[in-house]
Amino acid sequence: MEPLYTQQKTLRVADIAKQLETFYKEDKTKQDLSTLCATREKDPQTSAQLIAEEELIVAGLPLFNILFQKQNIKQHKKEGSLCKAGDLLYELTAPASILLSYERILLNLIQRMSGIASLTNQYVKTLNSPTIKILDTRKTTPGIRIFEKYAVYIGGGYNHRFDLNEGVMIKDNHLAIIKNLDSNLAYLQQKYPNKNIQIEVDSFNQLNLILNSVTIKIDAILLDNMNAKQTEKCATLIRKHLPKCFIESSGGISLQNILYYKPLDIDGVSIGALTHQAQSKNIKLEFQ
């Protein structure tokens, strides 16, 4: 089944430039006292190599292409490729002042993104399913969501909604204050006909009640914190009522238990750990 939302397949130049400018201001790159000391008398053209220090799926090389587009650059590894410790990812030659002032920001980002891509790829390969998608969640880091969701895609995963406006996601806290779910959803569907509607449920009884009381089309249902047996029971009921509904499992699913979900009739498994538990990978920028 097709993904519900827009996929972050690329990083647009305008988006990268805008975010990087914010990071530069935060780090005061134009007021770098250490670099001023080192380059006050001379700012030589300096060559540097970006090198992987451990096995990883590399993500984030477009950042270097944008920052150093006016410099002498050479990309050695394809974005999303598997790299081993010692692999040369990128070579560039630029004024020493630029390399010194901007290296930490770029390394932080590419290390973080490669960590997310690598963990996502581990989930994708472990599940090894042609029909069930590995999805991210909105458990992203404020300010770098676009980079993190892109990294998930590079790792072979799929993106859930990018922001609160991209789709309707009725969760338990929404249900706690909604008096008439069918009426409220009908209003949303009429006002925003092109938005997908998804509802989160945490029990078979709650699912059964919703399926028998809501009259409008539900595009997706999220089965929250259910084991494989509970998921199978709920998925069977959903297919009976809504054959084309996107069925998503979420909560408590890890590398240790994800294979229990592989035989089930579901379309996606969303895993917050892809972005909030991924460990940054070791990558260095070494001057020659």
Q: At 123, is the pLDDT very low, low, confident or very high (cuts 50, 70, 90)?
A: very high
Q: At 90, is the pLDDT very low, low, confident or very high (cuts 50, 70, 90)?
A: very high
**Contact assessment for residue 254 and residue 272, using Cβ atoms and an 8 Å cutoff:** no
Three-state DSSP class for 272?
coil
What's residue 126's pLDDT? 98
What's residue 238's pLDDT? 98
What's residue 277's pLDDT? 94
What's residue 132's pLDDT? 98
Residue partners of 194: CB distance under 8 A and separation at least 6: none
**Global model pTM greater than 0.85:** yes
Q: What is the pLDDT of residues 217-271, one digit of tens each?
A: 999 999 999 999 999 999 999 999 999 999 999 999 999 999 999 999 999 999 9
Q: Which of 139, 145, 195, 262 is catalytic?
A: 139
For residue 221, what are the CA distances in angstroms to 4, 66, 288?
Answer: 11, 40, 54
Q: Can you name the residues that pair with 167 across neighbouring β-strands?
A: 196
Helices H, strands E: what count in the chain?
10, 12
For residue 165, what are the CA distances in angstroms to 9, 91, 162, 227, 249?
Answer: 19, 40, 8, 30, 22
Residue 202 scores a pLDDT above 90: yes
**What domains sit in the chain, N to C, each tagged with a CATH number?**
13-123+279-287 (3.90.1170.20), 126-276 (3.20.20.70)
Lowest pLDDT segment from 63-67, 136-140, 146-150? 63-67
Residue 67 scores a pLDDT above 90: no
Q: What is the pLDDT of residues 160-183, one digit of tens each?
A: 999 999 999 999 999 999 999 999
What's residue 237's pLDDT? 97
- How far apart are alpha carbons 90 and 82 in whole angstroms? 14
Q: At 147, is the pLDDT very low, low, confident or very high (cuts 50, 70, 90)?
A: very high
28 is catalytic: no
171 is catalytic: yes
Three-state DSSP class for 21?
helix
What's residue 198's pLDDT? 97
What's residue 8's pLDDT? 93
**Contact assessment for residue 86 and residue 100, using Cβ atoms and an 8 Å cutoff:** no
Q: How many CB atoms lie within 10 A of CB 269?
A: 24
Residue 288 scores a pLDDT above 90: no
The residue among 15 and 274 whose pLDDT is bigger is 274
Residue 70 scores a pLDDT above 90: no
200 is catalytic: yes
- The pair phi, psi for residue 83, each rounded to 5°, is -120, 150
Q: Which of 18, 25, 104, 229 is catalytic?
A: 104
Q: Which of 136, 200, 248, 267 is catalytic?
A: 200
Q: Which of 77, 138, 145, 171 is catalytic?
A: 171
Q: What beta strand segments (E) does the chain contain?
A: 45-52, 56-57, 72-75, 82-83, 88-95, 133-135, 167-170, 196-201, 220-224, 246-250, 268-270, 283-287
Residue 41 scores a pLDDT above 90: no
25 is catalytic: no
224 is catalytic: yes
Q: What is the pLDDT of residues 204-218, one digit of tens each?
A: 999 999 999 999 999
Q: Which of 224, 248, 267, 281 is catalytic?
A: 224
